[in-house]
DNA sequence: TAAAAACGTTGACTTTTGTCAACGCCCTTT
DNA sequence: AAAGGGCGTTGACAAAAGTCAACGTTTTTA
């Protein structure tokens, strides 16, 4: 699966990336079953994952033990609790494979070494950060400015494939509404 | 006001920052009155601002011309629409001085030159990104997991000074609720 | 300083959303 | 194949939040 990561990086930095082989050699391939936890809250997030295939849910539990979904990330994207990963503090978040997943993982020590020794990897990291941040900004704006119905319409426009790919329960959680409300509002469109 | 930025950088990178004077010389000091727009949606965000003093509101308008607040940023922090700044595309967001502000601004060309010529500036930018992102993640989690009442309590804990410093109208908008609901819920605590 | 505008609160009412329960369906899993 | 569990939908009701209006207060601004 490493060729997918190679392509991902080359798409962003060009075909001639110095140190690319060194970078790729540092990643470990890890497989997760549907429903399996990749990261459990309280544990430190010691890996950053490139999703070769599959789909991850990033979520926190509220007082009633509901899963509240901060993000849903699909193949050819990166996933981690970057806050925990960067600080070394325990994670407040959980990451779960909602489909069978093949992930390519870099550990924290390896990541830091790559950052220091491969300048191009530094660029990759910045792009991960920028993309994650841009995504978050979008998402916050939907929460402060849109009704539940409009958030559904927004998701249909912005990430249409998610609608057919994931369970309604998960999408409702991603939109910050109950499963029942999602079911009812969806029927109105 | 440039000494505030100097201190900000030294606090993060140490007292001996190579190229610091070059960096500081690149910033322009700009003053904004209370209520003045720093960035208007549709315009490109051509500056990144370090807030020396004051407070900025980042917001978008919805269909009813309400101001929906994505973020509130106070002195000794950075503010911009990084998505627009990075891509050069028109901004979807507005930035307004909600208090009289002194901002230190770097233009896009100067920013890019610093990134290429001063390695330490690169680190500063990454820290801005990481901090902005961490802040966004927190904020999303409050929206997907907390009720309006709990978001108010969260704000009291997480950013207590904002509560006394800003108008209720603005805080309500930041929390994604109406001014009236905020007034009523606040009375319950 | 006086007028105007914006703000904060409260009441009455509407709309939106959540909760609990029931039911059929699909999908595992044994 | 049968049992069990989870999912998606719907109904009935409750709770939460929004809207509109009014009013006194504070803040701007002319």
Q: Is the pLDDT of residue A59 over 90?
A: yes
pLDDT at B106: 97
Question: Would you call B82 and A176 a contact, using CB atoms and an 8 Å cutoff?
Answer: no
**Is the residue at A9 inside a domain?**
yes
Nearest CA-CA partner of B43 in B116, B92, B107, B98: B92
**What single string gives the DSSP state of each residue in chain A?**
-HHHHHHHHHHHH-S--TTHHHHHHT-EEEEE-TT-EEE-TTSB--EEEEEEESEEEEEEE-TT--EEEEEEEETTSEE--HHHHHH-PBPS-EEEESS-EEEEEEEHHHHHHHHHH-HHHHHHHHHHHHHHHHHHHHHHHHHHH--HHHHHHHHHHHSHHHHHHS-HHHHHHHHTS-HHHHHHHHHH-
Q: Is the pLDDT of residue A17 over 90?
A: no
Question: Would you call A146 and B62 a contact, using CB atoms and an 8 Å cutoff?
Answer: yes
**Is the residue at B161 inside a domain?**
no
Question: Would you call A144 and B68 a contact, using CB atoms and an 8 Å cutoff?
Answer: yes
Mean pLDDT (whole number) for A37-53: 96
Q: Which residues of B touch A141 (CB under 8 A)?
A: 60, 68, 70, 92-93
**Is the residue at A132 inside a domain?**
no
Q: Do A62 and A68 touch, CB atoms closer than 8 A?
A: yes
pLDDT at B175: 97
Please list, in sequence order, all residues whose beta carbon lies within 8 angstroms of the beta carbon of residue A1, skipping any fewer than 6 positions away.
A29, A52, A53, A102, A104
pLDDT at A94: 96
Question: Would you call A145 and B68 a contact, using CB atoms and an 8 Å cutoff?
Answer: yes
Q: Which residues of B touch A127 (CB under 8 A)?
A: none
**Is the residue at B174 inside a domain?**
no
Domain span at residue B112 reads 2-118
At A186, is the pLDDT very low, low, confident or very high (cuts 50, 70, 90)?
A: very high
CA distances (Å), origin A11, targets A6, A15, A74: 9, 7, 17
List the B104 CA – C18 C1' distance (angstroms): 46
Nucleotides of chain D touched by protein CB (<7 A): 7-12, 16-21, 28-29
**Is the residue at A127 inside a domain?**
no
Q: Is the CB of B177 under 7 A from strand D?
A: yes
**Is the residue at A14 inside a domain?**
yes
**Is the residue at B127 inside a domain?**
no
CA distance B26 to B47: 12
Query: How many domains are there within chain A?
Result: 1
Most B CBs within 10 A among A116, A145, A153, hence the mutation to make, goes to A145
Q: Which residue ranges in chain B fall short of pLDDT 70?
A: none
CATH for A40: 2.60.120.10
CA distance A95 to A36: 9
CA distance B147 to B137: 17
**Is the residue at A75 inside a domain?**
yes
pLDDT at B115: 92
pLDDT at B172: 97
Q: How many interface pairs between A and B have CB atoms less than 8 angstroms apart?
A: 88
CA distance A6 to B132: 29
List the A148 CA – D12 C1' distance (angstroms): 22
pLDDT at B139: 95
Q: Is the pLDDT of residue A66 over 90?
A: no
Question: Would you call B82 and A144 a contact, using CB atoms and an 8 Å cutoff?
Answer: no
pLDDT at A26: 96
The mean of the pLDDT values for chain A is 94
Q: Which nucleotide is nearest to A168 (CA to C1')?
A: D8
pLDDT at B154: 95
């Amino acid at each position: 699966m490493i060729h997918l990561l190679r392509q991902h990086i080359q798409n962003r930095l060009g075909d001639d990336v110095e140190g690319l082989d060194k970078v790729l050699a540092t990643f470990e391939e890890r497989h997760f079953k549907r429903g399996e936890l990749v990261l459990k809250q309280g544990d430190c997030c010691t890996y950053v994952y490139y999703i070769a295939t599959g789909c991850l849910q990033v979520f926190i539990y509220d007082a009633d033990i509901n899963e509240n979904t901060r993000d849903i990330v699909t193949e050819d994207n990166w996933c981690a609790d970057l806050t925990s990963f960067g600080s070394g503090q325990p994670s407040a978040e959980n990451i779960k494979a909602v489909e069978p997943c093949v992930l390519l993982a870099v550990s924290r020590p390896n990541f830091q070494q790559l950052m220091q020794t491969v300048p191009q990897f530094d660029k990759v990291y910045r792009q991960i950060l920028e993309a994650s941040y841009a995504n978050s900004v979008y998402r916050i704006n939907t929460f402060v400015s849109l009704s539940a119905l409009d958030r559904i319409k927004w998701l249909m426009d912005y990430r249409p494939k998610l609608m057919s790919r994931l369970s309604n329960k998960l999408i409702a959680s991603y939109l910050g509404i109950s499963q029942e409300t999602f079911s009812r509002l969806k029927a109105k469109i």
